[in-house]
Chains A and B, each alone.
Chain A
C-alpha cells in the first residue's frame, strides 16, 4: 500500500499533466461512429490464411469465413435445413447427379484499396472458385500448395465432374454419382465464393499469392489490415446484399493466452471471447457485465484404437477397454459437466441419431473377464496418445489420459501417455504409429455423413485421417448406400444400422459431445453461433444502455 501511495503522491507534481488530461478527456469523450459501433473479438490465434478453402482450423474459420465470404447455400442454424445463400434457388435432376443453381442478382464483391470490381457476382465466380479445387490446370490450383483439406476429406475431386457457368446467373454442377451430402458440403464454411475478376487482376499483376492473403469476398465485412499476431481489422461492407450489418468495424484481437483473454473481457477491451475455459465459466457467470452463451455444437470426443495393431485387432479387447473407463469422472474433471456423455459418434441433435443405442457400461470386473477371454488375463502395456491442444470436443486430453491411465491400471493394463507437438502429432497419427489416441471431430455441416465418412471409411484410412485405422467393407457399404439415396427415411434407416454396427465393432469409444461457449459483453447482442462451424458477427451490435 505504501508503494501505491508513493506513486500516486509523486504523480501530483510529476504526471499532473497526464492525470489532468485523462480526467478531462475521461468525462464523456464523444466517440466517433467507427469506434463506437466497432466490435472487438478476442481470438485465440492468428489466421493461417484468408481463404477458407485452404484451412480446417476453427480459429481461422471463425475469423474469416462468415465475415468475409458467402456461400451458395447456407444452413438455417435453428432448423438445420438448407436455405438460399448466393444461390436463390436450385434444382436437382432426378438421378441426383446434376445440380443447377440460379444465382442472386446484384451481389457485388468488396471494393477496397487493392481491388475494385467492375461487374457484379456471376456464375463465372462460382466456376472459378470450385475449379480451383479440382482442376490442376487452373492458374490458382497449386497456389498455397494445392491442398484443400476439407474437400479432400469428402473426396470432392472424384465426385464433381464439372462446374459449368451456363449464363451469368446459372451454374451447373455435374457429379460422377449421386451424393446426398453434396448440398451440405456447399453450406460449409470452406465453400466460400471467391472473385474470378480479382483472380484475373492478380494474375496480370503477377502476384497470384495475394488471393489468399488479401481477401475479396461478398461477405458482410471487407478486409482492411492484418498485423501478424496482433490483429485483423475488417470494415463493414456497405453494399452487402443482405444489408443491415451493424458494426462499422470489426477487429479480431489476437490474444493466445487464456487468462489474458479473460482479463480483457472483464476490462471491456474485448466484447466477445472465444472458447472461455470451461473451468472459468462459473467465475464469468458471477459477473453481470458479461454473459455466457451456450450452444449445441455438433462434435464428439473419442478414444480411437489402432485396430490393425494387436491386441486392438480383437473385438473383446476393445470392448474391455471401453468398459474399463469411468466416464462419470471424465465428464466431471475434464468437461466440468458441460457436455453430454456420448453413446455413439453421432450427437443426439442429429436427425439420424440412434435412440436405441445402449448406455455405455462401466464395469472393471467384466472388462477383466473380457480380457481373460481374449487371452490377456494379466493385461498388457499400451500407449494413449493425448492431443496437445485444447479443442471443444476435448478441452484437456492430457488430464483425460491421466484419468484413463488410473482406470486401466484397475484391469491390469499399464498405459503410457504420449504427446507430441500438434503438427507432428497429426503427422504420426496419419502414419498410424499410435496404439490409441484421444481426439475428436467437430462437424462442418449437419449431414450425418460428416461423422461417418471422414472418420471411419476405408477412403479416410487411406488418406490417413481414420484414427482407428479401421476399414470394414460392410460398414463402408452401409454409409455409401446412404449417400446414393435422397430419401431421408431410407437414409435414416441406413445410418441407424451404421451406428448399431459401430457399437458392435467398437473401433473407437465415443466419450462426450461438448457444448460450445462464448463469453460476450452484456452490451453486445446478436452474436450467432452456427452449430456447424464458425461464428457469424453480421448481426452483432452494441446496445447502448
Chain B
C-alpha cells in the first residue's frame, strides 16, 4: 500500500507540474499587458510598474518567473480580479463552497437513487421494470442539461409556483457567512428563523440538485446494472447460491460488495463532468458558485480570474480523482498491484 501511495503521489506531482505550467503560461498567452494580467491591477503608474516588474521577477528569465509564480500561489497571493479589484483567492474562498455543496448533494442523490435502481434493473433485465429503468437512464443520459433545467423552472416555478427559480436562499433571510455551506451556516446562525430559513434553503436546493444529479444518476444506474450483471455471472455467486444462501443474502454479501467496487472509481472519473455540469446549473439557477463566476469572468475577459478559476477547478478535479483511486485501492487489493 505504501508503495502504491508513493507511486500515485509521484504521478500527481507531475500532473500538478503540468497544470501549474499551463496556468503560468496563460498570463503570457492572454492578450494585453503582462503586468496587468498577472497583478489584476487596472491602472498601473510607472513607479508601481517598476515595483511589480521586480516583484514578479519579470526582468529575469522564464524559469525565475515561473518559480516566483509558484511561490506566490503557495503564499496565497493570486492577484486581483479585473472586475472587482478584490483579491482573487478571497473571492474564490467565498464561492467555492457553494459549488461544492451543490455538487456534493447531487452526487449523494445520484447514489441514493442510482444504485438501487441499477440493482433492480440488473435483477429484472427482461421484464418491464428493468427495461423501463434502462430506457429512462438512456434518455436522462442524453438530456441537454440547459433545456432540462429551464423546463423544470417553467413547470415548478413559473407554472405551479411551488419552488423558487434562482439563488441559494430567499434574500430576506440574512445568514452570516461562516463556512459558505449554506445548510451548515443556517444551523450555526444565531437567528430566530432557523427552521424557516432551512426550509427555504432546501426549497432553493431542490431543483438545482435534481438537475445536476440527472446525469450522474443515469451513469450510476447503467454502471451498477452492468457491474451487477457481470458479477452475477461469476462462479462464486453460483457457488454461494448452490450452497443454499438466499438471493438477498448473496446479493448483499457477495454481489453488492464486488459490484460496487468499480463504482467508487467511477465517482472520480465522473467528477470532472459533474463540475462542468455544475457550472451550467449555476448559470441556469443563478447559483452564486465558482462556475457562474468563471463564466462571467470569461465574458468580462477577466484574465486573472480565468487563470485562478482554472487552477482551482483543475486542482479540485485532480485531487478528487486521486482520492477515489486511493479509496478504490484500499477496498480492492487487486488494484494495488497494477
Contact = CB atoms under 8 A, between A and B. Distances in A.
Nearest to A230: B288
B199 A32 contact: no
A269 B164 CA distance: 7
B203 interface: yes
Interface residues of A, number: 39
A29 interface: yes
Contacts of A2: 135-136, 139
Contacts of B109: 14-15
Interface in B269-307: 286, 288
B117 interface: yes
Given A10-B117, A13-B116, A32 B166 contact: no
Contact of A266 (B143, B158, B170, B202): B158
Contacts of A4: 155
A35 B166 contact: no
Contacts of B195: 25, 29
B157 A231 contact: no
A255 B292 CA distance: 14
A3 B144 CA distance: 13
A269 B165 CA distance: 8
Contact of A14 (B113, B192, B206): B113
A531 interface: no
B153 A269 contact: no
B158 A32 contact: no
Contacts of B165: 260, 263-264, 267, 269
Given A14-B112, A18-B206, A22-B203, A231 B171 contact: yes
B199 A29 contact: yes
Interface string A29-55: 111101100101000000000000000
Band of interface residues on B:
35 or more
Contacts of A253: 167, 171
B276 to A, nearest CB: 21
A15 B109 CA distance: 8
A228 B84 contact: yes
A119 interface: no
Helix, strand, loop or mixed for chain B's interface? helix
Nearest to A257: B286
B196 A31 contact: yes
A251 B199 contact: no
Nearest to A266: B158
B222 to A, nearest CB: 14
B116 A40 contact: no
B4 interface: no
Interface in B127-142: 135-136, 139-140
Given A255-B286, A260-B166, A34 B112 contact: no
B139 A263 contact: no
Contacts of A40: 171-172
Contacts of B192: 32
Interface of A: 2-4, 6-7, 10, 13-15, 18, 21-22, 25-26, 29-32, 34-35, 38, 40, 224-225, 228, 230-231, 233, 249, 251, 253, 255, 260, 263-264, 266-269
Which 9 pairs from chain A and chain B are nearest by CB?
A: A25-B199, A38-B172, A14-B112, A32-B193, A10-B113, A251-B171, A6-B136, A14-B113, A35-B172
Given A7-B210, A267-B157, 8 more contacts: A6-B140, A15-B206, A31-B193, A34-B193, A35-B170, A35-B193, A249-B174, A266-B158
10 contacts: A3-B148, A4-B155, A13-B112, A13-B113, A18-B202, A25-B195, A40-B172, A249-B174, A267-B165, A269-B170
